[in-house]
Structure 1
Amino acid sequence: MHIFELPSGTEVELREMTGAEEELLTNQRLIRNGDAVNQVLRNCTVRLGEIEEPSMKDVLDLLSGDRLFILVKLRQISLGDEAELELLCPNTACRAANIVTVNMDDLEVTPYGEEREFTFDLPGSKRKVRFGYLDGQKEKRLAALKEPSISSAMLIRLIDIDGAAPSKKLMNDMSLRDRSALRQEMLRVDAGVDTTVETECETCGIRIRTRLEAEPGFLFPGVRL
């Protein structure tokens, strides 16, 4: 077994992934609704703090930064520290394949603070917004949406606006200035493991940016585009 400290400070004990988890991660239906990753996290989390054999609810209650941290550590203990990615150039006139190797021990981890709710004054309207972190429960609700958007990803984190329950209309009516400022504030307080991968295309020099967990080589080494 392997023991780590999550960004939230909770200790987690993990076991390696097996063929059962690979089957889950190749099930397209389970991938689309997010259940594949949730089941993998549930299967491989042996202990969560004082909780032995955590339930699915325990896994879904985890903050998103903790969940991604666990996924990265599961990849490391199951398949090794390095992931070789084949990144396709986004330039339609180029489309060259670029090989990038990422060592997961080098990924920056930002710990969570003690706060779980935050207050922010919108710079334009001067309205007061309360919001919280994204967690597995909210991720599951987002995955269930037919057309998730930037608005829905922000809205699901809101607790209230000037004491009133948040709504899709309130988000749509919010000025771009206020939306941008709120989005930046949410990003500022977020924690967890930074899985951003950036490089330049070796052929045309254009910038390539992705996230480690979004690439096939993260969980399936040797897979080519």
Structure 2
Amino acid sequence: MSTLVTCPSGLAGRVRGLRVKEEQILTDRQLAKSGGQIDALLAACWEETTDPGPYGLDGKPDWGKVLIADRFVALVMIRIATYGPTYAFDLPCERCGERIEWELELDQLPVRELPVESRSAFLAGNRFRARLPEAGRDVWFRLLVGGDERKLPQLRQANRDKVLSASLAHRVLEIDGVAEKDRRVFLEDLALGDVRALLDEIERVDGGIETSIDIQCPSCQAVQAVDLPFQGTFLLPTGKRSAGSSRR
């Protein structure tokens, strides 16, 4: 089965579902560790490009240069083409600790388009500006692409006690009045209010799928907001959820 996909940036094409021959990609631990698993799956399942979006490509995309938001939407559509839109998962209730079994329809998740001005900025060099209100400085950052996604696991592994500052340093291009050699120290001393302002601006200029949902525990009726858990089995075949599962 194949399906059409339109990514947040305007990149569009046709993807097919996973086949048995992709099992090696899904189970290759070395490929997963290197961050190349998603690239391999996207390359295998992207059949045709109908609109190159901002990438100016001829044929299949170079997934290492494609925005992470586009990659994620394409991956979700591959999952839908493989198993259908229903996605079942479970997680513990924050109040009572009972396991919550939940189902939702992936094709009903809202998709935010990449704003027109963001597409222009991406084409002009992938450079965006934000204001740090407490520091009183401007900062320039970039939207992450597939090549960055491959580096993130190693980045987090190497900076276990400073993941936030390392992640910010990876995407920040320039800070007004701060030399490049001093950038990491500046970010480590950044007020959390400024971090929030920067992250809010990054989210505002980016596209993607809205993965924050509210779920309700059937045992204690508590409602909790969660980020949709894309577990290791997201692309692997699993048994059907029992009839007692809750639905969004």
Please state which band the TM-score falls in when normalised by the shorter chain.
0.7 to 0.9
Kept in 2: contact 1:142–1:152 (CA 8 A): no
Gaps of 5+ in 2: 242-248
**Equivalent in 205, 226, 234 of residue 209 of structure 1:** 226
Kept in 2: contact 1:217–1:223 (CA 8 A): no
Tell whether 2:228 aligns with 1:221. Answer: no
CA distance in 2, matches of 1:153, 1:198: 27
**Equivalent in 49, 58, 62 of residue 51 of structure 1:** 58
- Cα offsets for 1:166-195 (capped at 9, x unmatched): 732121022222222112221222211122
**Structure 1's 30 and 223: CA in aligned 2 closer, same or farther, altered over 3 A?**
farther
Kept in 2: contact 1:201–1:208 (CA 8 A): no
Greater CA drift, 112-121 or 164-173: 164-173
Deviation at 1:206, TM superposition (A): 5.5
Match of 2:65 in 1: 61
Deviation at 1:90, TM superposition (A): 4.1
Match of 1:102 in 2: 104
Match of 1:137 in 2: 147
Note the aligned Cα RMSD (angstroms): 2.4
CA distance in 1, matches of 2:234, 2:78: 14
Q: Please identify runs of 4+ aligned residues in structure 1 that moved more than 4 A.
A: none
Gaps of 5+ in 1: none
Match of 1:34, as an amino acid?
G
Give the 5 Å matches for 1:31-180: 31-48=32-49, 49=52, 50-54=57-61, 58-91=62-95, 94-113=96-115, 114=119, 115-116=121-122, 117-145=127-155, 146=157, 147=159, 149-162=163-176, 164-165=179-180, 167-180=183-196
CA distance in 1, matches of 2:60, 2:206: 28
Q: Give the length in aligned residue pairs.
A: 219
**Structure 1's 195 and 221: CA in aligned 2 closer, same or farther, altered over 3 A?**
farther
Match of 1:13, as an amino acid?
R
Kept in 2: contact 1:119–1:131 (CA 8 A): yes
Percent identical across equivalent pairs? Answer: 27
Match of 2:214 in 1: 198
- Cα offsets for 1:116-139 (capped at 9, x unmatched): 232112101211101121211111
Match of 1:110, as an amino acid?
R
* Matched residue SS, 1:9: coil
TM-score under structure 1 length normalisation = 0.85
